[in-house]
Amino acid sequence: MTNIIEAISMNKKVELGKDNELHILKDVNLEIEEGEFVSVMGPSGSGKSTLLYNVSGMDRITSGSVKFKGREIGGLKEEELAKIRLKNMGFIFQDINLLKNLSLIDNVMFPALVSKDKDKKAGHQKAKKLLEMTGIEKLADHNITQASGGQLQRVGICRALINDPDIIFGDEPTGALDSKSTEEIMSILAEINKKGTTVMIVTHDVKVAAKTERILYMVDGNIVAQKKMRKYDAQHEDIKEREESIMKWLVENGF
């Protein structure tokens, strides 16, 4: 199996003022295999989001190396990074972050149009299919003010998927949703993962983590523990058991 992401002694520091630096990520090493479904857990402020944004090239690391599909992205120009985000990555956020002045379907197809301006029809078709897949095709022409949080997050996922990315990053994508929506979103993500797309999400929720196959546990800028499991299979496995074992593991690691 090849690694889609490979980070070696990755450091992230931010300047807070004169002689005042915050060291957020401390010599972190991380490998993520193609097709994996990974979650990141850890106390608030431990650097989970920072990890996610730095391995995805959204932020720039201070030192170390990050490779995406074998290519070093630390020194890439802004335009090249943007191109990678456009074609190879998808992002979903807790705050959803859709564009205000676009309808839901336009939000979804927007990255497709930017990527392939010539073929608007194809982009539109693809967006429609994705909305159907996530069950919100009826809302296609609505404004973002006319949909619920769960519905909007599905739009976010559709947008992330529109250019057939290799990996999807999620920063607490279910953080603001009720448990029903959370479950629906997770099954969509699992579906996507099953089709081969790598997924990496940050979460606080054990129920969410239980549906992934590897959990990274972060404390104070370090990955202090990892738990590798099988891919979750609802037919042959009881979710409760899985959750309990994760809880136990977390407590062992000082949760």
Partner 1 sequence: MFLKIIKNDFYRKKIITGTVFVFITMAVLLGASATNIVANLIQSMTELQERAVPADITQMHSGKYNQGEIDKFTEEQRENIEMQETMVLLTLDGSNIHFGKNQTMAGTVQDISFVVQNKKFDFILDLDNEKLDIKEGEVAVPIYFMEQYDLKIGDTITVKSGGDEKAFVISDYARDFEMNSSLTSSKRFVINQNDYDEMLEMQAGELEYLIEFKLNENGDSQAVQTAYIEAGLPANGPTVGGSIFLLFNAMSDAAVVMVIIFISILLIIIASLCIRLTFLATIDEDLREIGVMKAIGISKKDVKNVYLNKYRVMSVAAGIIGYLLSFVLVYLFNGNMRLYLSSDLSGNLKYLLSLIAPLFVYFMIVMYSKKILKRIDKISAVEALRSDIMERGKNRKYSFRLLTNKFFSTNIYMGLRDVWKRFKLYRLLFFIFVVCTFIVILPLNMYNTMNSPEFSTYMGIGKSDIRIDLRRTDTITEDFNKLQEELKNDSDIEKYAAYITSSYQVKNAEGSWDYMNIETGDFSVFPLNYLEGRAPKVEGEISLSYANASKDGLNKKVGDEVVVKVAGTAKTLKVSGIYQDITNGGKTAKANTSLSINEEAVLWYIVSMDVAQGVDIREKMDYYQNTYESAQINDIKEYTQQTLGNIIDQMTTIVIAGIAIAILIAVLITALFLKMLLSKDMSQIAIMRSVGLTSKNVKHQYMAGTLLVLTLGIIFGVLASNYLGEFLVSMAMSTMGAAKIELVNIAWQTWLLCPLALIVVVGYTISVCCKVTEEDDLSVVFKS
Q: Are 158 and 131 in contact (CB under 8 A)?
A: yes
Distance of CA 102 to the CA centre of its chain: 23
Is the separation of the CB atoms in 176 and 13 below 8 Å? no
Measured from the CB atom, the residue of 22 and 114 that comes closer to ligand ADP is 22
50 binds ligand ADP (CB under 6 A): yes
Q: Which of residues 23-62 bind partner 1 (CB under 8 A)?
A: 49-50, 53, 58-60
User: Which of the stretches 88-96, 192-200, 209-217, 232-240 binds partner 1 when contact is defined by CB under 8 A?
Assistant: 88-96
236 binds, among Mg ion, partner 1, ligand ADP, none (CB under 5 to 8 A by kind): none
Q: Which of 9, 63, 97, 187 forms a contact with partner 1 (CB under 8 A)? A: 97
Query: Using the rule CB under 5 A, is 49 a contact of Mg ion?
Result: yes
Count CA atoms within 13 Å of residue 120 on its CB side. 2
Cα end-to-end distance, the chain, whole Å: 32
Q: Does 48 bind ligand ADP (CB under 6 A)?
A: yes
Distant-in-sequence contacts of 209-214, Cβ < 8 A, 24+ apart: 209/39, 209/41, 209/246, 210/239, 210/242, 210/243, 210/246, 211/37, 211/186, 211/239, 212/37, 212/38, 212/39, 213/36, 213/37, 213/38, 214/36, 214/37, 214/38, 214/39
Q: Indicate which single residue of 44, 101, 145, 235 sits in contact with ligand ADP (rule: CB under 6 A).
A: 44
Q: Which of 5, 7, 37, 111 binds partner 1 (CB under 8 A)?
A: 111
Query: What letter would DSSP give residue 143?
Result: -
Number of residues that bind partner 1 (CB under 8 A): 44
Interface ranges with partner 1 (CB under 8 A)? 14, 49-50, 53, 58-60, 78-79, 82-87, 89, 91, 93, 95, 97-103, 106, 109-111, 113-115, 117, 120-121, 124, 141-143, 145, 159, 163, 171
Interface ranges with ligand ADP (CB under 6 A)? 14, 16, 22, 24, 42, 44-50
